[in-house]
Amino acid sequence: MSTRLPLVVANWKLNGDRDLLTNMVERLDTLNAEQVEAVICPPFVYLSEDTASIQKGAQNIASQESGAFTGEISGRMLRDVGCYYVIVGHSERRALFGETDDIVAEKVKATLSAGLIPIICVGETDEERENGETLTVITRQVKAVLDVLPSFSDSIVFAYEPVWAIGTGKTASCEQAEDVHNEIRQILAGYNHELANTTRILYGGSVNPGNSKELFGSDNIDGGLIGGASLDVDSFMTICENA
Ligand code: PEP
């Protein structure tokens, strides 16, 4: 039995509003914090809202600390408004905004140096899985971050999100997800055993109230990163209760 506290993270992407945040926080506040940690990652403009005991996360971070970088938000600013987590390297940022493994690694460093916890997303495309390259891709993406990690005592979170399962309604089977999660834990163990034991590895990709219980029942799946289903209060609440 793992001692890692399950973590369930809502990734609202470019969706949601203040009312949804208020309603979501009111419900999540009734969860037993000793059984599950729920986090909301709304768009930047809502990060300074009061969310009671519910932690907030950003969906992105600048790799720079300050300067002439129009439109960017730094780690210090995120911390200043009470943000605790940062999603780094989401597949949409990798595919649509050109974030390479090197950029993701820089953003992880920026997150940690601001005292925030990165939720590092990794995952293969449909084509990569078809070509039998899943583990090669995951290993490359995970190592790119671990190779630049300033300290192995820093708290980090990984999210395995197969790109073919994000927003598509297709979910990885428990066996497919558990295989990759186990692989990620082995890679972590190659760097530091304590890190491998304590790091939470989330699954993301069309998680919903119906499939979450089975997925979260796997040994190495410590919760979820939830997109579409996190925009509905009842659905997200049920997913948290299933963790
Ligand atoms: C995500 O965007 O991180 C995600 C997992 O989305 P969805 O749950 O909609 O597949």
Write the CATH number for 162: 3.20.20.70
Q: Whose CA is nearest to atom 8 of ligand 1?
A: 227
Q: How far, in Å, is the centroid of ligand 1 from the Cα of 206?
A: 6
Q: What does the alpha-carbon distance between residue 132 and residue 170 come to, in Å, rounded to a whole number?
A: 18
Asked if residue 34 is part of any domain, the answer here is yes
Q: Classify residue 43: in a domain, yes or no.
A: yes
Residue located nearest, by CA, to atom 3 of ligand 1: 227
pLDDT of residue 150: 86
Residue nearest atom 7 in ligand 1 by C-alpha distance: 227
Ligand 1 mean position, distance from CA 68 (Å): 32
pLDDT at 72: 98
Residue 1 forms part of a structural domain: no
8 A C-beta contact, residue 35 and residue 6: yes
User: Residue 105 has what pLDDT?
Assistant: 98
- Show the ligand 1 pocket: residues with CB < 6 angstroms: 11, 161, 166-167, 204-207, 225-229
Residue 46's domain comprises 7-241
* Nearest ligand 1 atom, CA 90: 3
How many structural domains is the chain composed of? 1
Cα 19 from Cα 4, distance rounded (Å): 32
Q: Can you spell out the DSSP letters for 21-39?
A: HHHHHHHHTTS-TTT-EEE
Is 90 part of the annotated catalytic residue set? yes
Is residue 120 situated within a structural domain?
A: yes
| pLDDT at position 21 | 98
0.95 surpassed by pTM: yes
Q: Which atom of ligand 1 is nearest to the CA of 229?
A: 8
- Rounded Cα gap, residues 4 and 1, in angstroms: 9
Residue 147 belongs to a domain: yes
pLDDT for 129 equals 96
Asked if ipTM goes beyond 0.85, one says yes
* 48 marked as part of a ligand binding site: no
210 is in an annotated binding site: no
In the DSSP assignment, the letter for residue 41 is: E
Give the C-alpha separation, 214 to 28, whole Å: 21
227 is in an annotated binding site: yes
Please give the number of the atom of ligand 1 that sits closest to the Cα of 161.
Answer: 5
Q: Is 13 annotated as a binding residue?
A: yes
* Residue 114 resides in a domain: yes
Judge whether 70 lies within some domain. yes
pLDDT one digit per residue (tens) for the chain, 243 residues: 578 999 999 999 999 999 999 999 999 999 999 999 999 999 999 999 999 999 999 999 999 999 999 999 999 999 999 999 999 999 999 999 999 999 999 999 999 999 999 999 999 999 999 999 999 999 999 999 999 998 888 899 999 999 999 999 999 999 999 999 999 999 999 999 999 999 999 999 999 999 999 999 999 999 999 999 999 999 999 999 999
Of 99, 106, 128, 161, the catalytic one is 161
For residue 132, give Cα distances in angstroms to 96, 129, 135, 168, 179: 24, 5, 8, 21, 13
Tell whether 2 is covered by a domain.
no
Residue 31 zone, left/alpha/beta (φ > 0; ψ -120 to 50; rest): beta
